[in-house]
Amino acid sequence: MTDAVRLSNGSHLTPRPARSAPYLSALRPMLAAVVALTLIGPMTTAEAQRRDDSYRPPASQGGGGGLDGQLRAQGGTPVAPPAGNAGNGGGGSAGGGGGGITAGGGLSGRTTQGTIAPIPIAVPLFLSDDPKLASDVANVVVGDLERSGLFSPLDRASYLEQIRDLNAAPRFPDWRAIRADALVVGRVTRGADGRLSTEFRLWDVASGKQLAGQRFATAAQNWRRVGHIIADQVYERLTGEKGYFDTRVVYVDETGPKEKRVKRLAIMDQDGANVRLLSQGQELVLTPRFSPTTQEIAFMSYTRDQPRVVLMNLETGQRQVVGDFPGMTFAPRFSPDGQRIVMSLQDGANSSINELDLKSRQTRRLTSSNAIDTAPCFSPDGRQIAFESDRDGTQQIFTMNSDGSGVRRISSGDGRYSTPVWSPRGDYIAFTKQLGGRFLIGVMRPDGSGERILTEGFHNEGPTWAPNGRVLMFFREGQGAGAGPRIYSVDLTGYNERVVQTPSFASDPAWSPVLN
């Protein structure tokens, strides 16, 4: 029997049926990690300096002083419904083919063959004195909502009303006639100082009620983030779950022939836009991961075959070697408080899980066995660690207390398991599984129950969670001489799988928390 994924508002998404036996895993443990790149915060009424996400060199190098010097944001003022609209637009039926919006504003989708039919939503071009800018921001909102699989943006050619005044209530019968359940309208203006002022409203078409509205301002270079922030608020208001669109993904950019790949650190928006390179390819880089508390990433650097754990400050571009260990080092990951890194260190023919205190630089060994223990990952509360080990003869997933005690195996199916990654919600552990030449990405509960495969392919690996714990990214190797890895996303139902477009081959993704 399969487990339904329950949304906060009580709706359920039914996943693909669980497969028996074969799955995948056993790739060489390659790290994964807890992410967190906190940038622009929720906009406050007072103007406050925030961090941008685009790396530039320090001011001394002509780069504008790093992230803090590149962005200022203000606003965050709730927008009341237009005058004369008491939150009641005449009621009536939405007439939508998907679901509807409950009285509390939650998504109430109609289930079809075990899945929720996406909610029909209309997002007209935003009002603006700059039509291209308005179109670009509105299209970011549409793209985010559509990729989630929970929304079906309606074709703008079908709209009967052209929005001309954001402060006037829409003609709801016109939107019901095209079977829209929700409507997002907005306005973007550019001030004399070049900053953007943005306002949006979310309407329940059936009831005529305004469900959300906000006005805020930010620097012009953050126009895409404006769209992501609006999409996050729409997603949260209609599903009851936190959004995940205003996030970044750090990954390894790969170019060149397969036998001589150049691997560089890169960062992008979760939708694949705004790709920026963070290294130039003079070294081999693997498994970049965000710190959950600072503007830093940790990654593995191989220079002249010497593995090192490196921290990189995203504001300044400066690097710091935090570990220069004998032998091989694998899979560094941050603790939830950002004070420690847990990783695997080679010990002869075996490897053990070790913890490094970033302040004292003291290392503590957590496992000791005649086995290869690797790919450690903290639980969200920091009390447990999941890892993979072949101590039972094949690669399997184990958990233990954060001090190394209480080791227990949780995987029990056929095949070999690797790359365990704890969900930010703590309810699932994602993994890679290998069986019969197939590689699968799946999830199980922390006690090993409820195992479910979400996707399979020629060579899938490296799952990483969206901050709301409802979507995963991973990378998949292509077949053939000219093929290479690509990043994909898949939701917890297993039905909504998408490729994340990148300019080059891409591997080892790691998802950040929501930036605001």
Residue range 70-127, pLDDT digits in tens: 223 334 566 666 655 644 444 333 334 445 565 445 555 544 445 568 999 999 999 9
**Residue 325: both structure tokens together:** 């260990």
Q: Is 202 domain-assigned?
A: yes
Q: Range with the lowest mean pLDDT among 44-48, 138-142, 464-468, 499-503?
A: 44-48
pLDDT for res 364: 93
Closest by CA to 200, choosing from 210, 192, 209, is: 210
Q: Is 4 domain-assigned?
A: no
Q: Are residues 382 and 503 in the same domain?
A: yes
Q: Is 15 domain-assigned?
A: no
Q: Are residues 212 and 265 in the same domain?
A: no
pTM of structure = 0.80
Q: Are residues 202 and 265 in the same domain?
A: no
Q: What is the pLDDT of residues 236-248, one digit of tens each?
A: 999 999 999 999 9
pLDDT for res 257: 86
Q: Are residues 183 and 273 in the same domain?
A: no
List residues bridging with 213 in a β-sheet: 201
Q: Is 67 domain-assigned?
A: no
pLDDT for res 424: 94
pLDDT for res 85: 60
Q: Are residues 166 and 274 in the same domain?
A: no
Interhelix angle 131-147/223-239, nearest 10 degrees: 40
504: domain CATH number is 2.120.10.30
pLDDT for res 514: 87
Q: Are residues 457 and 346 in the same domain?
A: yes
Contact predicate 263/254, CB 8 Å = yes
Q: Are residues 387 and 265 in the same domain?
A: yes
**3-class DSSP assignment, residue 235:** helix
Q: Are residues 209 and 298 in the same domain?
A: no
- Label residue 143 by pLDDT band (50, 70, 90): very high
Q: Range with the lowest mean pLDDT among 266-275, 366-375, 474-483?
A: 474-483
Domain boundary among 198, 218, 238: 218
With a pLDDT cut of 90, the percent of the chain lying above it is: 59
pLDDT for res 499: 96
Number of independent structural domains in the chain: 2
Produce one character per residue of 427-456: b if its CB has 16 or more CB atoms within 10 Å, e if not.
Answer: ebbbbbbbbeebbbbbbbbbebebbbbbbb
Q: Are residues 499 and 378 in the same domain?
A: yes
Mean pLDDT along residues 417-435: 95
pLDDT for res 268: 95
- Looking at per-residue pLDDT, the higher value among 72 and 139 belongs to 139
Mean pLDDT along residues 209-218: 93
pLDDT for res 140: 98
pLDDT for res 51: 28
Q: Is 392 domain-assigned?
A: yes
Closest by CA to 490, choosing from 21, 16, 38, 110, is: 16
The beta-strand segments (E) located in 423-515 are 429-435, 438-444, 452-457, 460-465, 471-477, 485-491, 497-500, 505-511
Domain that holds residue 188: 72-218
Residue 482: CB atoms within 10 Å: 8
**Residue 12: both structure tokens together:** 């359920």
The one-letter amino acid at 428: Y
Q: Is 13 domain-assigned?
A: no
**Residue 123: both structure tokens together:** 């997002």
Q: Is 457 domain-assigned?
A: yes
Q: Range with the lowest mean pLDDT among 269-283, 323-337, 434-448?
A: 323-337
173: domain CATH number is 3.40.50.10070
Q: Are residues 183 and 284 in the same domain?
A: no
Q: What is the pLDDT of residues 170-206, one digit of tens each?
A: 999 999 999 999 999 999 999 989 999 999 999 999 9
**3-class DSSP assignment, residue 310:** strand
List residues bridging with 228 in a β-sheet: none
The one-letter amino acid at 167: N
Q: Is 227 domain-assigned?
A: no
Radius of gyration for the alpha carbons in the chain, expressed in angstroms and rounded: 24
**Residue 236: both structure tokens together:** 């949260």
Strands 182-190 and 119-122: parallel
Q: Are residues 204 and 272 in the same domain?
A: no
Domain boundary among 175, 199, 218: 218
Q: Are residues 213 and 118 in the same domain?
A: yes
